Amino acid sequence: MSKIAWAIFVATTIFAGAIAVPSIAADYPARPVRFIVPAAPGGGPDVINRLIAIELTRQMGKQFIIDNRPGASGSIGTEIIARAAPDGYTIGNGNSTTLVTNRFFLSKLPYDSDRDIQPIAQHVLTPNILAVALSLPVKSVQDLTEHARKNPGKLLFASSGNGSSAHLSGELFKRMTATQVTHLPYKAAQQGVTDMIGGQVHFMFDNVSSIGTHVRSGRVRGIAISTAKRSSAYPELPTVAESGVPNFEVTAWGGIVAPTGVARNIVNRLNSEINKALATSTVKEKVDVLGNVLTSGTPEEFAAFIKREVTKWAEVIKGANIKAD
C-alpha cells in the first residue's frame, strides 16, 4: 500500500470512529438496563431507586430493571456494578456506606470505589433525627449538651451498629460538643428505639423513615434534624447546626453510579435523564412523604461530594478509633 493510500485509510478509520461515538449515544439504550440496588426489597434505598427506574423506563423507552443484591453492607451489589462491562447497561445505587464508610470497616473490600466506580448523579439525602428518651430532662440540643457535660460518660446513645450513619452522627456530635457520651450499638435501629422508649438508652440519631413515626406519636422526643437545612417533613425540628453546634451536618445519601469506563456521552445522557426524573411530581411527592430530600447535579459534583465525605468521615472514624463489629 502506497503512503498516500495508507494516509487515506488512516484518515477514513479515524473519521469513522469519530462519528461512531455519538451514534452509540443516540441509540442508547438499545436494550434493557440492569439497575443494581445493593439492599433488600422494601427498604428506603429500594423504594427510591424503583421510583427512578420507573421514570427512566418511561423517559428512555427501554426497561430499567431493578436487581436487589443485599449483603455485606452493600458490598456484594456494589462489586457487581464495579465488575460489569462499562457499556451503560449495568448501573446501580451507590451510597454513603458503599462508597465511603465501607473502606474504613471492611478489611477485604472487593472493589475500590475511587478506581472502579463512576458517579453518575446524586439523587437523595436522608436526614437523621436526634431524639431523646422522654425520661431525660432534655428538650433541646443545648439542654442535651449541658446535661452531657454535667454527667460525663453516663449518657448512652444507641445506633444500628458500628460505622452506621446513626453511630457516626453520635460520634460527630460528641466531637463537636466536647462531651463524653457512651455508644451502645444494636444489630438493628428499632432495637435501639425500643430501648430508648423504655428509658434504657438516653438518645440516638436515627433515619427519619425509622424513627419518625415514634417522634410523631410522642413515644420519643425529637429535638433536631441532622441536615444543614430543616426538613419539609419535620419543619418544627431545628437543625443541630442552628441549635448551637455550628457546621454540624450528617446525611445518609445515595445516587446512581456505573462501572468506570462508560462513554462520556452515555454518562451525560444518564445524568440528564436522572435529573429529569427527579424533577417529576411523582418522584417528588413520594420521596417527600418518606422524609428524604431530593438533590441533583452533574457527575463531577457528585464525585466532589463523595471525596469530601471520605475526608470528613476519615477524620471522625480515626479520631474516635472506631472499629468494625
- Of 185-194, 230-239, 262-271, which one has max mean pLDDT? 262-271
Residues 206 and 291 in one domain: no
CA 179 from chain centre, in angstroms, equals: 27
Q: Is the torsion defined by CA of 179, 182, 184, 185 positive or negative?
A: positive
Contacts 24+ apart (CB under 8 A), 25-31: 25/263, 25/265, 25/266, 25/268, 25/269, 28/88, 28/266, 28/269, 29/60, 29/61, 29/62, 29/88, 29/89, 30/62, 31/62, 31/89
Q: Are 273 and 59 in contact (CB under 8 A)?
A: yes
Residues 25 and 100 in one domain: yes
User: Can you give the CATH number for the domain in which 159 is found?
Assistant: 3.40.190.10
Alpha-carbon distance of 157 to 131, in angstroms, equals 10
Question: In this predicted model, which residue has the larger pLDDT, 151 or 185?
Answer: 151
Q: Which candidate, 221, 185, 217, 190, places its Cα nearest to that of 203?
A: 221
pTM of the model: 0.79
b/e map of 279-296 (b: 16 or more CB within 10 Å)?
A: ebeebeeebeebbbbbbb
pLDDT, one tens digit per residue, over 114-149 is 999 999 999 999 899 999 999 999 999 999 999 999
Boundary-marking domain end, from 218, 243, 268: 243
Evaluate if residue 8 carries a pLDDT over 70.
no
Q: Which candidate, 119, 159, 80, places its Cα nearest to that of 270?
A: 119
Residues 19 and 32 in one domain: yes
User: Can you give the CATH number for the domain in which 48 is found?
Assistant: 3.40.190.150
Domain span at residue 75?
9-122+253-319
SS3 at position 285:
helix
Residues 132 and 281 in one domain: no
Q: What pLDDT does residue 4 have?
A: 54
Question: In this predicted model, which residue has the larger pLDDT, 317 or 276?
Answer: 276
Alpha-carbon distance of 169 to 291, in angstroms, equals 18
Residue 248: inside a domain: no
